[in-house]
Structure 1
Amino acid sequence: MIDAVTGRVRAAQNAFARISPAPLMVRAGIFVTVLAGFAVAFPAEVLSGRPLLFMAVAALLPAVGPRRVWPTFAALVTVGGWLLATDGYGRPVALWRLLALAALLYLGHTLCALAALLPYDAVLDPELITRWLLRAAAVLLGTAVLGVLLLQVAGLGGESGHQWVTVLGLLVAVGIAALLGWLLRRK
């Protein structure tokens, strides 16, 4: 029994010693991005004291376990904070805040996808991460431009805000995640 525990401790020490900086930087990027998403989504009244500690832990979870359920959990907490701020605290829906929140959600998601592919001891060419982030920036720019144009054409936006669109988008995202999980377990 003691030999098994000692062996596991040594294996953990060896794994910790082999960690390279690039995967750690990607995971630090996940933490910062998710925490920034919380700061944009939640009302300022909630961002102090104990809730801030819980948000920091919730932002750390996807950085530690990007292959698990934690990225989805963090995205749901972010959307919950957005709904709390707009519905519970009456914060008006501002286009800049909506675009920033969507960008942070996407960036957190794509960084989690990259981190899920990288073992902790991966040695990477910095160009790989640069290309990954440039591709994400191109997607974000195209989405923001198209979103603003569609809002202008449809005549939506301004101070009216459409909560039902947020809730519908959340339900679609959860439904797709559940469907994908069911399909993966079916194998």
Structure 2
Amino acid sequence: MNTVVERVRAAQYAIARVSVAPLLVRAAIFVIVLAGFALAFPSEVLSGRPILFLAVAALLPAIGPRRIWATFTALVTVGGWLLATDGYGRPVALWRLLAVAALLYLAHTLCALAALLPYDAAVDPDLISRWLVRSGAVLLGAAVLGVLLLQAAGTGGGAGHQWVTVLGLLVAVAMAALLGWLLRRR
């Protein structure tokens, strides 16, 4: 009985020490992942129970950014994109493609930041702003390069975007598997 009381007191002490910056980063992860779901999935799917399941899925990387949940939600987002383009015949719009890619990257990089920040960390606001500025520069460079490469390759049709999406998904899964194998090996 004494250990239960001690655990409750330890939890109350931990909750009292939580600082605002790590919570804001985790809230941003939730909002960004949910926005990625909203852009990727067809609007017909985003009503009723599926939106509740997607909201719970968006909450998982915010709670456990060091776990597999960031990868899981990225795969769910890409699955929603493929469902919308193949299953519901939504045309591939460049703005939507760039927005989903940007949201995937932002969710990934914010999960990396949240994994480094303990809940009770005293964080200088400049750290978060520099992190976001650096992420914005990467997004801008990737968007410009992506549009230029799409124009140069001439893959303007839906089939061109489709094979690029599937190829990108395969490369992302292969890289995640390789990194997981390297971490276990170490």
Residue in 2 aligned with 1:107? 106
TM-score, structure 2 normalization = 0.97
Residue in 2 aligned with 1:172? 171
Q: In the TM superposition, what is the alpha-carbon distance from 1:47 to its structure 2 partner?
A: 0.6
- The SS at the match of 1:156 is coil
Q: In the TM superposition, what is the alpha-carbon distance from 1:159 to its structure 2 partner?
A: 4.5
- The SS at the match of 1:180 is helix
TM-score, structure 1 normalization = 0.96
Residue in 1 aligned with 2:43? 44
Aligned mates of 1:84, 1:75 — CA distance in 2? 14
Residue in 2 aligned with 1:126? 125
CA displacement, residues 113-153 of structure 1 (integer Å, 9 cap, x when unaligned): 00000000011111111110000000000110111111111
Contact 1:94 1:159 in 2 (8 A): no
Q: Does 1:15 align with 2:14?
A: yes
Q: In the TM superposition, what is the alpha-carbon distance from 1:168 to its structure 2 partner?
A: 1.6
- CA RMSD for the aligned pairs? 1.1
- The SS at the match of 2:67 is coil
Aligned mates of 1:172, 1:11 — CA distance in 2? 43
Contact 1:92 1:161 in 2 (8 A): no
Q: In the TM superposition, what is the alpha-carbon distance from 1:157 to its structure 2 partner?
A: 2.0
CA displacement, residues 77-110 of structure 1 (integer Å, 9 cap, x when unaligned): 0000001000111111110000000000000000
Residue in 1 aligned with 2:90? 91
Aligned mates of 1:171, 1:106 — CA distance in 2? 16
Aligned mates of 1:131, 1:152 — CA distance in 2? 32
Calculate percent identity across the aligned residue pairs: 80
- The SS at the match of 1:46 is coil
Aligned positions, number: 186
CA displacement, residues 45-74 of structure 1 (integer Å, 9 cap, x when unaligned): 011110000000000000000000000011
Aligned mates of 1:65, 1:125 — CA distance in 2? 22
Structure 2: 5+ residue stretches without partners: none
Aligned mates of 1:183, 1:48 — CA distance in 2? 41
Q: In the TM superposition, what is the alpha-carbon distance from 1:163 to its structure 2 partner?
A: 1.6
Q: Does 1:60 align with 2:86?
A: no
